[in-house]
Amino acid sequence: MNVNQHTPMASPYGQPQPGYTQPGYAPLDGGYPAPYAPYNGPASPYQPGAPPQGISGPARGPPTTGPPPISAPQQYNQYSHSQGDMQNGPPPMTQAQPRPPVSQPYNPGAMNMSGPHPTYPQHYGPPPTMQQVSNQMSGMQITSGPPTPAGPGYAPPHSSQPPVSTAYSAAPPPSYTQAPPPVSSAPTQPPPSGPAASQQYYGSPPPPSQQPFNSSLPPTSQQQFTSSSVPPPPSQQTLPPSSYSGPAPPAGQPPAPPVSQPQQSFPPSQPPFSSAPPPTSQPAFAPGPPPTAPGSFPPRAPPPSSQPGSYPPPTSAPSCQYPGPLPPQQQPPPSQPFPYHSGPPPPRAQMPPTSMAQSNHLPPGPQGPPGPPGPLQQPPSQPGMQTGYPPQQNGAFGQVRGPQPGYAGPYPGQPNYGAPAPAPAPAPPAQKRLDPDAIPSPQASDMPAVQKSRHRIDPDAIPSPIQVIEDDKAKSTEPFTTGVRGQAPPLVTTNFQVKDQGNASPRFVRCTAYNMPCTADMAKQSQVPLAAVVKPLATLPPDETPPYLVDHGEGGPIRCNRCKAYMCPYMQFIEGGRRFQCGFCSCVTEVPPHYFQHLDHTGKRVDCYDRPELSLGSYEFLATVDYCKNNKLPQPPAFIFLIDVSYNAVKSGMVSIVCQELKTLMDYLPRENPEMDSIVRVGFVTYNKVLHFYNVKSSLAQPQMLVVSDVSDMFVPLLDGFLVNVNESRLVIESLLDQIPEMFADTRETETVFGPVIQAGLEALKAADCAGKLFVFHTSLPIAEAPGKLKNREDKKLIGTDKEKSLFQPQVGFYNTLAKECVAQGCCVDLFLFPNQYVDVATLGVVPVSTGGSVYKYTYFQAQSDQERFLNDLRRDVQKPVGFDAVMRVRTSTGIRATDFFGSFFMSNTTDVELAGLDCDKAITVEFKHDDKLSEETGALMQCAVLYTSCSGQRRLRIHNMAVNCCSQLADLYRNCETDTIINFFSKYAFRGVLNNPTKAVRDTLVNQCAQILACYRKNCASPSSAGQLILPECMKLLPVYLNCVLKSDVLLPGADVSLDDRAYLRQLISCMDVTETHVFFYPRLLPLMKLESGSLPVAVRDSEERLSKGGVYLLETGLHLFLWVGASVQQELLLNIFGTPSFGQIDSSMTSLPVLDNPFSQRLREIIDSFRAQRSRYMKLMVVKQEDRAELIFRHFLVEDKSVSGGASYVDFLCHMHKEIRQLLS
Amino acid sequence: MIFLRQMPNFRVWKRTANASWSQAVSLSTWTAAHVGHCSVMTTYQEFIQQNEGRDGVRFSWNLWPSSRLEATRLVVPVSCLFTPLKERPDLPPVQYEPVLCSRANCKAVLNPLCQVDFRAKIWACNFCFQRNPFPPSYAGISEVNQPAELMPQFSTIEYIVQRGPTAPLIFLYVVDTCLEEEDLQALKESLQMSLSLLPPNALVGLITFGRMVQVHELSCEGIAKSYVFRGTKDLSSKQIQEMLGLTKPAASGQQGRPLAPQDAAASCRFLQPVQKVDMNLTDLLGELQSDPWPVPQGKRPLRSTGVALSVAVGLLEGTFPNTGARVMLFIGGPPTQGPGMVVGDELKTPIRSWHDIQKDNARHLKKATKYYEAMANRSAVNGHSIDIYACALDQTGLLEMKCLSNLTGGHIVMGDSFNTSLFKQTFQRVFSKDNNGDFRMAFGGVLEVKTTRELKVCGAIGPCVSLNSKGSCVSENEMGIGGTSQWKVCSINPSTTLGFYFEVVNQHNAPVPQGGRGAIQFVTQYQHSNTQRRIRVTTIARNWADAQSQIQHIESSFDQEAAAVLMARLGVFRAESEEGPDVLRWLDRQLIRLCQKFGQFNKDDPTSFRLSESLSLYPQFMFHLRRSPFLQVFNNSPDESSYYRHHFVRQDLTQSLIMIQPILYSYSFYGPPEPVLLDSSSILPDRILLMDTFFQLVIYHGETIAQWRKAGYQDMAEHEVFKLLLQAPLDDAQEILQTRFPMPRYIDTEHGGSQARFLLSKVNPSQTHNNLYAWGQETGAPILTDDVSLQVFMDHLKKLAVSSSA
């Protein structure tokens, strides 16, 4: 991740990106890595509070560099100009800028109120909201669909609300407990514990936690609330009425009346805070936290004092976080309930729309009206929303990022979970409902929980990815055998062993549905995508055997005469073994004499188990010359390194790093037999405006450089001596690599070309008549006069318009043509980008993406901080097993056919997927459509055959066979789906969609399809239940949360500062990800690190700020990024263990690797980090994020269950929305 | 005789001179039988030699007919062979600048023919009669104190111009790498050797080519760097300069700013002073690989000669315009791709032959020729010359490329292999030095001709291009490269000789006063090899004669040798654009008309035909010229023809005559070596013959001698005389070999040897298989040919000359 600091560098060249500077973040030392840059944008999101921008922009855009230290206060100002007041309070903390804006609107009101409230608590208070929501939402229920083991998984949700306390505390897996704890902590435990507290919270106080949430629930909580103030009740009342008037649920609550208010309420939202809510909240917290609350409100005089006092450290931090606006919200709570605070405060402001607002409002009701107009406006919309889903629409999605809003909204929904009806008691019934389909959760039993549920949707009550993942882990203890048709494999997050018994391992092939509908009608009705994600060359764990290599002799592999399917376990031998019938097309083919074998009494060939192709799902055939290009056995492949040596490249240190590294990498070229030398030949090219080829023939004393200036018509100036064997030319190569950095050390050339560079590599491979891979190290937009010249077309104004799609399309057609030529030659291109500004990844990436290559992007690359990441990526990229000149074909049973393919490849016809290069990390998603009926007896078969040249120059066919069941009942379909794979498909589908459709349309389509899937289930499979209930199939209960993550991704919903390059980069990146990668990419893994045990990882927590404890340290990984989040009041001991420093303030947030300390904790932590890195195809640079540090903004982006600054909905909100959509479909 | 003394290799010169005289003698005896004797004008011969020695000029007529009409009737035009930089060790250059006539369109240089008024300090231009005051520096002039340029013995004088930039010489090697390993190795060695011959401050550059063209950067250390161009793409000069990163061209000489070598070096990485990159370049050449691209079976290697030249020319054009530079192209085969391609890469398609050309079957001929012509012109404009060193067994495309050298004054050397002494020595000789230690080469010559008003210049034939300078002395009647009074000769060496053709424009009715003289001034500006700018001025004058009354005088002033060469140049020039037979017919016609004009005969009586001694050898020259490879393409490839013609139009008179009519010496026990008739009758068993055709040096052992030699008599002590006899021609041949440029092909053969054809094809076939028995065997060797013999030729000539109907 680069720091803004870099920006300055950029400037010299021309333009610091506006985005970066404006945000004012630039100033901060912590600079954002380019990718994150967008996040900076948050400012914009906040914009609503326009102020932020203005503030930030003017203030310090430029000065930035130095900022780090100073920044805090000043920045504050900037950001929160409005906050001005705030300063006092928050002085210590700097972070929260983003929020401020949000809060701002409220501030006015809030401020006033703030004092009192501990609104926060309110949020907590939300409990009230919850209730309301619940009322409204009462209808909604989330039930796991089909019964299954899932039950347990589900439990959590149920538990969350009513049962909460009990359920969690008791049985529920740690995860659950955790969730609640925080809550509890707040109330029960004194805030002071803050930091350390977090842990404790988790552990013990669960019950209390819940309480806070659900005002009603546990006595305690209620008490608090109640005691604290009237507000709670009011809130409840109001809420329900407002948005969720619909759901009579309010039942229990008087609030009903408020219904009318809702409208009013919205506006009033703020007021509510000020007036009623605050009080309420405070009271609630009063017990413990109250003090904090006050403190938090910096606005007021007291705050400062209070804060320090109450939550000395923590408070400050929190406040910072929500600099301006938040303050009101009183992060105070922060310390403990982190989640709460953070989330709620900001949200409110914006969120008001939804439940939260309402809840708050209610009380304010009286005052309310006056409330901050801003927020209010949103509310108005709500009316419409009332259905229960409002939250999303309202600013919720867009503006507020804080959990609060989200919660508010969502919560309403939750009630559903908890209890069907608003009624306090409802809980039990709710559970029942749930149970019916899927979950016989322990929760059900928990009465208390029930109560909670009513109030609002409890985040713990909705399906938890963590729970599902943990459950799956728990049940997958046995090796997974692939012999059984239609059996869904364990989740990608689970470690399991695979035994190939006739179908391909899920490591190679994963399907969305393991029970395909028999007919097209069914498929259409269910809308469940039928797709498979194939990763043909996947690396297997050491304990699984790689596919066997089968040689059928000179005649080549035995194939079906008609459909040309390769010999596989699905071939039925008949007539005593003289013929076989194809499982795909049923055609009967003679068995060639040399392949004949007798059958046993069951009709199986006697040698069935001796031959991999008859007994296994995955194996390889040795291809004959007929399978080779031009009917010639392939030449050994070649790697060509093309290095940009323009000014930028040299200055950033890239050139010398690459050259230095290549010297050692030469010994690690891919090979099949580790004991042999690789036969891959290498060649070197450097370039700026012209290309320099190098003759490194072994007979030369010195390398020779050949400059080609004629970039308009590229050619290769030499043949002999360009591609060489490393061992033979080692000295010359080393001499060359030593000299390159020197030669260009003083270069002044800033222009580069790009098209000709690839052409050069391509021509070289053509000349050598071999396949190969190009490694291009490139820095800048190719503006030099040459084919493929580009211009800067980054235009923020287009975002959100119909023309946005054009930004994802290549700027010129040149690269498409070039890609085609590359594919024809088997020339795979891997692109390493080191941009300081816009480079048009959408265009530059065309060739890599079409040739099966990869794009790596290191924005604002700086040798010191990014070297490690780059080098690890490079090493891996060079070393990983790769096949060349590949063609993949998927054959299927009659009845379905592969209709669409997603991934990094090129297709010149509709059936053959051509990959110039195919490495072990590339996955291809294949969509199937019916073209006829399938039968339940035979199931649906598919055979994926990949013809490729191995890195040892051998031509091979890798075959993966997969058989799935077919069903005539929809319920079967829903019972055997794999959500992770579906999401993989959806994301690829959507990300490709943005090329041709407005992103909004793409998002709508996704939401629609998802709603249809769920509605279909509800309609056809679920047991009857009230219309208001949200019922999800067990296998798809995470669909909404994951889908929401997809919708919120930068590609589909960019923040104001997400650069076009980043979006294009991600878009391309996703296209070739397998399920494991998409899963963690969309739903990052967040591990609490307070306690580490060797041998097992701590159980992850959900991606929500609410789950973070101020006293904790968390590790978050997305497959691309790795964060270590440090709470502001983390224990000294922990700091000492990890960083070797006793104080939070001394943590150097610019470090990219943890200090090596000799203590078990540090060791284990580094082990974990290393193991994470080892699992991913790209090296993740570690970013240390201190709570309330500026960089936290980036981090928060990955808390995907929360609202995002770019307007993405929180999980709860989205669930409500989804529910609404489903209900619309049903009605 | 002065001339003889001056020549450094006077033995050779003596021999050749002797040869022609002896021929004259023998021929005169030979023809005497038919024609009779005329008195020998020894005075004219001496006059001619004197003039040649002093001024390097040989005129066809040393008395000029005074009217246009009479001049045309003389058949052979008033013309001359002029050697601009004839070596004059006795002529120290003067250190000041010439005094020019002040008339704008005259600008003639003050010369001994000018009338000078010493008192008034005024001189009258002898071309335009303008009266000019002397410049102030001539204030001290008087009859007894005259500047050199006014003294008659300084009709040729050389000035050193002090102003103007002095640029180092530039040598750009353009090397074909599609060679056999052995050839390439030899070439590399030659090139490395040549570095030591270059002046230390000269700039050198290296371009290699094969399938691609590489321009080597010479200043880099560590890594050898070169710029590569695709061999198939024609690039404009501007593109080339851009691609080489030369967009800011070095200060050019044109801009009048002195160009320090350091500046030049900095501005161009590709051309560096020899002293600086000597080691580098030697290594670079040493590492030169032969073109690495595989050549499939049945294909020629892809050779991008056209683009390589284009790059070379573009490079120099951009960096050193108007500076003396030599592009030295070394090729081992024909261009096979890209612009300038001469033949495709399919071996099954042979390279064009004369037969193909006559059938209009040479696909690439026109296009390639046009391409190279355009390049030659570009190069000439910038004053850069292009040498071609072509060594291959097959043709290399000289036909198409010849203009590169012809127009720029470059050399063409043709050999079988770079690994032959022919190439090695020739190449070495390019860098030969004169007595002062200066290279025998000059650059960027501009040759201007001024004439008195009775004469106009029609054109020039030689290694030059027109500068299109129209002036009052330019005739509308073009002969050779005409329409101008100025020509550019990019590279000149001491033997470079141009033919100039004039027209007498004086009308018959305006007779020149008795004793009037016509004058011609040649002004040659050039860059000396020591980088000085110099101007050499040669002013000559001849008397006018009235053809009516003084035809005898005019006849005796005829220089038949010069006339033969000058007419031959016209013929060769025509042959470049016309069909061979047409040229021969034209030559015959001219000869017949000349004989008619000057012969003494009775009408229709061939036996009565006589020619005066001053013309007696002329028909014989024409006979051999008709048979020469300059006009006969039979048995020669187009490349060879181009090669021969190239040398013919640039060598001085003596060499040219040898080319037209080779010299033959006979060695025997019967006396000292003697020149003998170039006739089959001279081929006798007991003789050793040495024939010099300029291009070949043939030693032919007669049948008996050959047998003796085979028997090893020369090794026997008692036959030492025989050994000496065998050695004699070898020694003589060595002398010729060591001085001639290009080095001739040396052939040692004997009776019946296959190489004997070189001799047999040259001698006058007086004895053929047709008339063998009539002549008797002892007298010589029969030649198997249907060619007419000199005898027959003369018979026809006489018949036609005396014919009243002709």
Residues belonging to chain A: 1227
Chain A residue numbers with beta carbons less than 8 Å from the beta carbon of B220 are 705
The structural domain count of chain A equals 3
- List chain B residues with CB under 8 Å of A710: 229-230, 233, 235, 239, 243
A158 has pLDDT over 50: no
Closest residue of chain B to A705, computed from CA coordinates: B225
| Cα nearest neighbour of B235 on chain A | A710
Residues A1073 and A1000 grouped into a single domain? yes
In this structure, what token pair is assigned to residue A215? Answer: 């005002």
Inside any domain, residue A764:
yes
Its domain, for residue A739, covers: 637-880
Count the neighbouring beta carbons within 10 Å of the beta carbon of residue A746. Answer: 8
Are B635 and B753 part of one and the same domain?
Answer: no
Nearest residue on chain A to B220, alpha-carbon basis: A743
Q: What is the pLDDT of residues B362-394, one digit of tens each?
A: 899 999 999 999 999 999 999 999 999 999 999
Q: Which residue has the tokens 């670079």?
A: B284
**Token digits of residue A907:** 């297709």
Return the pLDDT at A343: 34
Sequence-separated contacts (24+) of A588-593 with Cβ below 8 Å: A589/A559, A589/A560, A589/A561, A589/A562, A591/A558, A592/A555, A592/A558
In a domain, B35, yes or no: no
In a 13 Å sphere around the CA of A191, the CA atoms on its Cβ side amount to: 37
- Residue closest to A1179 by CA, chosen among A1117, A1125, A1124, A1126: A1117
Query: Measured between alpha carbons, how far is A149 from A440 in angstroms, rounded to an integer?
Result: 9
The predicted model gives A23-35 an average pLDDT of 39
Range with the poorest average pLDDT among A182-186, A948-952, A1000-1004, B378-382:
A182-186
Q: Are residues A1077 and A1176 in the same domain?
A: no
One domain for residues B425 and B517: no
A736: closest chain B residue by CA: B223
CATH number of the structural domain spanning residue B118: 2.30.30.380
Do A716 and A851 reside in the same domain of the chain?
yes
- Of residues A251 and A1103, more confidence is placed in A1103
Lowest mean pLDDT among A441-445, A951-955, B785-789: A441-445
Long-range contacts of B575-580 (CB under 8 A, 24+ apart): B575/B630, B575/B631, B575/B645, B576/B645, B580/B631, B580/B632, B580/B633
Q: If contacts are CB pairs under 8 Å, which of residues 923-942 in chain A contact chain B?
A: none
CA distances for B159 relative to A786, B51, B99, B441, B492, angstroms: 53, 20, 10, 17, 17
**Average pLDDT of the segment spanning A1159-1167:** 90
Partners of B227 on chain A (C-beta within 8 Å) are 706-709
Confidence of residue B579 (pLDDT cuts 50, 70, 90): confident
Q: Which of A690, A719, A739 sits opposite B222 (nearest CB)?
A: A739
Closest residue by Cα to residue B255 from B319, B326, B165: B165
Residue A1041 is assigned to a structural domain of this protein: yes
| Phi, psi (degrees; rounded to nearest 5) at B686 | -100, 25
Domain boundary among B516, B537, B557: B557
In which domain, by residue range, is B103 found? 99-152
Contacts of A702 in chain B (CB under 8 A): 222-224
Quickly count helices (H) and strands (E) in chain A: 58, 27
Cross-chain residue pair A702–B224, CB shorter than 8 Å? yes
B287-317 pLDDT per residue, tens: 888 888 889 999 999 999 999 999 999 999 8
> DSSP class of residue B389?
E
| A693/B244 touch (CB, cutoff 8 Å), yes or no | no
pLDDT at res. B248: 56
Alpha carbon dihedral B20, B24, B27, B32, in 10-degree steps, equals: 180
Coil/strand/helix, residue B74: coil
10 Å CB burial of residue B692 (0-12, 13-18, 19+) is buried
Domain CATH for B277: 3.40.50.410
Same domain, yes or no, for B383 and B281?
yes
Map tokens 């235009």 to a residue.
A795
Domains identified in chain B, total number: 5
Q: Does A687 touch chain B (CB under 8 A)?
A: no
Same domain? A1166 vs A1066: no
The shortest CB-CB distance from A710 to any of B225, B233, B293 is to B233
Asked if residue A1093 and residue A993 are part of one domain, the reply reads no
Q: Chain A, 702-721: which have a CB under 8 Å from a chain B CB?
A: 702-710, 713, 715, 717-721
Q: Is A910 exposed, middle or buried (0-12, 13-18, 19+ CB in 10 A)?
A: exposed
- Confirm whether B336 is domain-assigned: yes
Judged against a pLDDT cut of 90, whether residue B183 lies above it is answered with: yes
CATH of the domain at A729: 3.40.50.410
DSSP output for B330-361: EESS---SSTT--S-SBTTSPPP-HHHHHTT-
Residues B122, B229, single domain; the answer is: no
Q: How far is the alpha carbon of B211 from chain A, nearest alpha carbon, in Å? A: 8
| Tens digits of residue pLDDT in B662-715 | 999 999 988 899 999 998 888 989 999 999 999 999 999 999 999 999 999 989
Q: How many percent of chain B have pLDDT more than 70? A: 90
pLDDT in tens, A613-626: 999 999 999 999 99
Query: At B706, which helix (H) or strand (E)?
Result: helix B703-711
In Å, how far is B635's CA from the nearest CA of chain A?
Answer: 40
Q: How far apart are CA A579 and CA A438, in angstroms?
A: 47
Q: Determine the residue of chain B that is closest to A743 in CA distance.
A: B223
Collect all residues of chain B within an 8 Å Cβ-Cβ radius of residue A756. Answer: none
Asked whether residue A394 is domain-assigned, the answer is no
- d(C-alpha B496, C-alpha B490), whole Å: 11
Could you tell me if A988 and A841 lie in one domain? no
- In whole angstroms, what is the distance from residue B642 CA to residue A1046 CA? 78
CATH number for the domain including B495? Answer: 2.60.40.1670
∠ CA(A277), CA(A280), CA(A284), 5° rounding? 135
DSSP string, A1110-1179: TT-EEEEE-SSEEEEEE-TT--HHHHHHHTS-S-GGG--TT-SS----SSHHHHHHHHHHHHHHHHSSSP
User: Can you list the pairs that B602-608 forms with residues at least 24 positions away whose Cβ atoms lie under 8 Å?
Assistant: B602/B802, B603/B802, B603/B804, B604/B802, B604/B803, B604/B804, B605/B802, B606/B795, B606/B798, B606/B799, B606/B801, B606/B802, B607/B34, B607/B798, B608/B802
Tell me the sheet residues that pair with B384: B325
Q: How many CB pairs under 8 A join A and B?
A: 70
Are A1220 and A1150 members of one domain? no
Q: Is the dihedral of CA B463, B466, B471, B472 positive or negative?
A: positive
ipTM score over 0.90, yes or no: no
DSSP B531: S
In a shared domain, residues B232 and B351: yes
pLDDT value for B305: 94
Neighboring chain A residues of B229 at a CB cutoff of 8 Å: 708-710
A47: in domain = no
Residue type, B792: V
Q: Decide if B37 is inside a domain.
A: no
Query: Does pLDDT of A86 surpass 50?
Result: no
Residue B159 is predicted with a pLDDT of: 94
Burial classification of residue A603, based on how many CB atoms lie within 10 Å of its CB (0-12 exposed, 13-18 middle, 19 or more buried) = exposed
Q: Would you call A1089 an interface residue with chain B, using a CB distance cutoff of 8 Å?
A: no
Q: CA-nearest residue of chain A to B284?
A: A704
Task: Look at B31 and A478; give whichever has higher pLDDT.
Answer: A478
Q: Which of A174-183, A1131-1140, B53-62, B329-338 has the weakest average pLDDT?
A: A174-183
pLDDT at A167 over 80: no
Collapse the DSSP code of A706 into the 3-class scheme (helix H, G, I; strand E, B; otherwise coil) and give the result: strand
Strand ranges (E), A608-663 = 618-622, 638-644
Nearest CB partner across the interface for B223, out of A717, A718, A743: A743
CB B225 to CB A719 under 8 A?
no
Query: Are B491 and B387 part of one and the same domain?
Result: no
* CATH classification at residue A1215: 1.20.120.730
pLDDT at position A717 over 70: yes
Claim to verify: residue A764 and residue A870 sit in the same structural domain: yes
**Six-digit token pair at A451?**
């109560």
- Note whether A1098 and A1079 are same-domain residues: no
pLDDT for B606-644, tens place per residue? Answer: 999 999 989 999 999 999 999 999 999 888 899 999 999
Q: B233 and A717: CB-CB below 8 Å?
A: no
Separation between Cα atoms, residue B237 and residue A521, nearest integer Å = 70
* Residues A1055 and A1022 both lie in one domain: yes
Return the percent helix, strand and coil in chain A, to nearest 5. 45, 15, 40
Q: Are residues B710 and B796 in the same domain?
A: no
pTM, rounded to two decimals: 0.73
B56 domain-assigned: no
Are A705 and B222 inside 8 Å of each other by CB?
Answer: no
Residue B242: list chain A partners with CB under 8 A: 709
Is the pLDDT assigned to residue A357 strictly greater than 70?
A: no
Residue A679 CB coordination number (10 Å): 18
**Which of A273-277, B252-256, B444-448 has the least mean pLDDT?**
A273-277
